Amino acid sequence: MPERKISKAVVLANSTKPDFDEISSSFRSRLQSQGIGCEVISLSSTVSDLKIEVPDCDMAISLGGDGTVLTCAELLKGRGIPILAVNFGTFGYIAETPTDELWRVFEDYRSGRTDVISRMMLDVSVARGGKEVFSSSSLNDVTVSAISHARMARIDLYVNGILAANLRGDGLIVATPTGSTAYSLAAGGPILDASLDAIVINPICPFTMGVRPLVVNRDSVVKMVLPRQTTDVSLTCDGHEVFSVAEGDEITVTEGKHQALFIANSKRRFIEVLRDKLGWAGSFNA
């Protein structure tokens, strides 16, 4: 693979993490010493991060945990800018590169020794009275859930126009393969290889035990209709964007128009990350 030309990089760093300034400044200085422009943008781990305007660049470096990566994916969607996801957090499925491997992975990418991987995203829209009142996208998941844990949400689930279930429970998670190792996994959902293009539909604590997680094809249209409710219900995109939904709302989730691009770490593969993070090698990290 030919060498890639990099004129400018942008570092998106979670400012709540210790040593974020030292590491991001050190990386910026190293790039600038080689004639590569670099801008550091601080993130605050709040919804206000989604309003940040990222300048044009050849690549982005996410310094933080998986939450920082999710923010970067939303900020950069549709722009064709690959993300080098560096783990500054405590776990890190998507942010697979530790800080001490940052420069090596950067050099591998610049020299053409590693690939850019595409990850599926989801698009979600909410219709109220026939009019769209909310739309967004997610790299991990879209969650519809009861705000009160003392009351159950009611959700009529349709897949490709066919009624699949009249659900009662804490809610429903619609996840990508990337998101299958996040909230969906904690709720008992299956782990999908991140390279797949599929959608996970996972009920959260359903009232009927026979309701189980379902994996459907990437081109499926997942619709959730809210009948009469006894509790307030919210829609959450990747855990950082929240919208209050109401009775009668129709929530539609489809494969995203855009994909997130990630720079692969050639020494860390998906199965290895699962093995290490889930303790499959004999010790538990969570």
**146 inside domain:** yes
Residue 2 lies in a domain: no
Q: For the domain that residue 70 is a member of, what is the CATH number?
A: 3.40.50.10330
Q: pTM for the full model?
A: 0.92
| Residues known to be catalytic | 66
Sort residue 36 into left (φ over 0), alpha (ψ -120 to 50) or beta.
Answer: beta
First-last CA distance in the chain: 38
Q: What pLDDT was estimated at residue 109?
A: 97
Provide the pLDDT confidence category of residue 208 given band limits of 50, 70 and 90.
confident
217 pLDDT above the threshold of 90? yes
242, containing H or E segment: strand 241-245
Q: Is the pLDDT of residue 218 over 60?
A: yes
The average confidence (pLDDT) of the chain is 92
In total, the chain counts a number of residues equal to 286
Q: 153: domain CATH number?
A: 2.60.200.30
> For the residues 133-137, what does the mean pLDDT come to?
97
142, 236 in Cβ contact below 8 A?
yes
- Winning range, highest mean pLDDT, from 15-19, 22-26, 123-127, 194-198: 123-127
Whether 104 and 128 map to the same domain: the answer is no
Q: Please give the Cα distance from 286 to 279 (Å, whole number).
A: 8
Does residue 29 carry a pLDDT above 80? yes
Helix (H) or strand (E) holding 277: helix 270-277
- Report how far apart, in Å, the C-alpha atoms of 108 and of each of 112, 214, 250 are: 6, 38, 45
Please state the domain count of the chain.
2
Q: How confident is the model at residue 209 (pLDDT cuts 50, 70, 90)?
A: confident
Calculate the alpha carbon distances from 3 to 29, 112, 260 in Å.
22, 5, 22
Question: How confident is residue 282, by pLDDT bands cut at 50, 70 and 90?
Answer: low
257's torsion region: left (phi>0), alpha (psi -120 to 50) or beta? alpha
* Span 142-161, average pLDDT: 92
Confidence (pLDDT) at 90: 64
User: Are residues 107 and 155 both part of a single domain?
Assistant: no
What range defines the domain where residue 182 resides? 121-257
Is the predicted pLDDT of residue 150 greater than 80, yes or no?
A: no
In 103-179, the DSSP E strands lie at 116-128, 131-138, 141-146, 153-159, 162-175
Same domain for 252 and 126: yes
